[in-house]
């Protein structure tokens, strides 16, 4: 079943023309409980991992296997595409055990699906993973939507918009941050769905601002963000990955597209 986000309830760029410069496309992945295979894009599903390649282990818990988090095929996420040239498969794993203040330690892999021969089965998840840090298997329903920066707007623009945002909310009930700007839930590209304000990461190699690669959120269902609930899920709550990251926040992955090997960093909040 496809998932369709309803249009924004107000014309964002008519009310706040300044944010047009901060318009981006994102792909909401809409993970829903299912039985994906290694040939499918998934969240928490089996990866198409080469049999001859060692399974990733946590650098902070030596010998402790990581667990599959996200697998994306280019055919399912053509634009904005998180794939370097020659690659059509993105795989994200993380160590689900406790790490001070960072919750998880992720690992990102890009490859050509056609180059993977025999597939290595995943080892069992480590005993005592952090609560809610091993996603249950979900199939994805990718949907491209438009969003606008919220936390990431420059401070002077926030100052200029503040009164208008409050006025619009008083008149219509729609809040810029919750209903009009960034899409909630697990998504590719666009703006990170920060649960709290965070400094934008810069590359340790070239010092340039990094690209938002992927947000993995605990849930896309928030009572206060009803305006983003897909049409298909309005009658009954959707079954997702059952993640519980921090205070129902998320893990935010960034990459540098200029440096060799596309170094990755992450934030958690
Ligand atoms: Zn670990
Ligand atoms: Zn760089």
Tell me, in angstroms, the distance from the centre of ligand 1 to residue 229's CA.
33
Q: Which residue has the tokens 């998880």?
A: 104
Spell out the per-residue pLDDT of the chain, length 269, in tens: 799 999 999 999 999 999 999 999 999 999 999 999 999 999 999 999 999 999 999 999 999 999 999 999 999 998 888 999 999 999 999 999 988 767 789 999 999 999 999 999 999 999 888 889 999 999 999 999 999 999 999 999 999 999 999 999 999 999 999 999 999 999 999 999 888 888 899 999 999 999 999 999 998 887 778 899 999 998 888 888 989 887 778 999 999 999 999 999 999 88
Tell me, in angstroms, the distance from the centre of ligand 2 to residue 36's CA.
34
pTM of the shown model = 0.95
Tell me, in angstroms, the distance from the centre of ligand 2 to residue 186's CA.
25
Tell me, in angstroms, the distance from the centre of ligand 1 to residue 93's CA.
11
Q: List the domains of the chain with CATH numbers.
A: 12-268 (2.30.320)
Tell me, in angstroms, the distance from the centre of ligand 2 to residue 252's CA.
17
Tell me, in angstroms, the distance from the centre of ligand 1 to residue 84's CA.
27
The total of other beta-carbon atoms located within 10 Å of residue 262's CB is 18
């Amino acid at each position: 079943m496809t998932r369709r986000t309803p249009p924004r309830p107000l014309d964002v760029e008519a009310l706040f023309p300044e944010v047009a410069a901060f318009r981006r496309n994102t792909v909401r992945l809409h993970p829903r409980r299912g039985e994906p295979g290694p040939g499918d894009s998934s969240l928490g599903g089996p990866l198409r991992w080469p049999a001859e390649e060692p399974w990733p282990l946590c650098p902070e818990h030596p010998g402790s296997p990581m667990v599959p988090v996200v697998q994306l095929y280019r055919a399912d996420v053509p634009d904005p595409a998180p794939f370097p040239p020659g690659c059509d498969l993105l795989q994200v794993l993380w160590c689900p055990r406790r790490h001070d203040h960072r919750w998880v330690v992720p690992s990102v892999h890009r490859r050509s699906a056609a180059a993977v021969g025999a597939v290595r089965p995943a080892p069992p998840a480590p005993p005592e993973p952090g609560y809610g840090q091993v996603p249950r298997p979900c199939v994805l329903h990718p949907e491209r939507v438009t969003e606008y920066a919220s936390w990431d707007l420059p401070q002077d623009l926030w100052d200029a918009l503040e009164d208008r945002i409050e006025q619009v909310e008083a008149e219509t009930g729609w809040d810029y941050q919750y209903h009009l700007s960034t899409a909630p839930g697990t998504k590719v590209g666009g703006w990170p769905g920060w649960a709290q304000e965070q400094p934008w990461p810069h590359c340790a190699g070239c010092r340039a601002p990094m690209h938002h690669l992927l947000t993995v959120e605990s849930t896309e269902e928030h009572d206060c963000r009803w305006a983003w609930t897909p049409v298909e899920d309005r009658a009954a709550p959707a079954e997702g990955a059952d993640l519980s990251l921090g205070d129902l926040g998320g893990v935010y992955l960034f990459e540098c597209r200029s440096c060799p090997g596309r170094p990755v960093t992450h934030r958690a909040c």
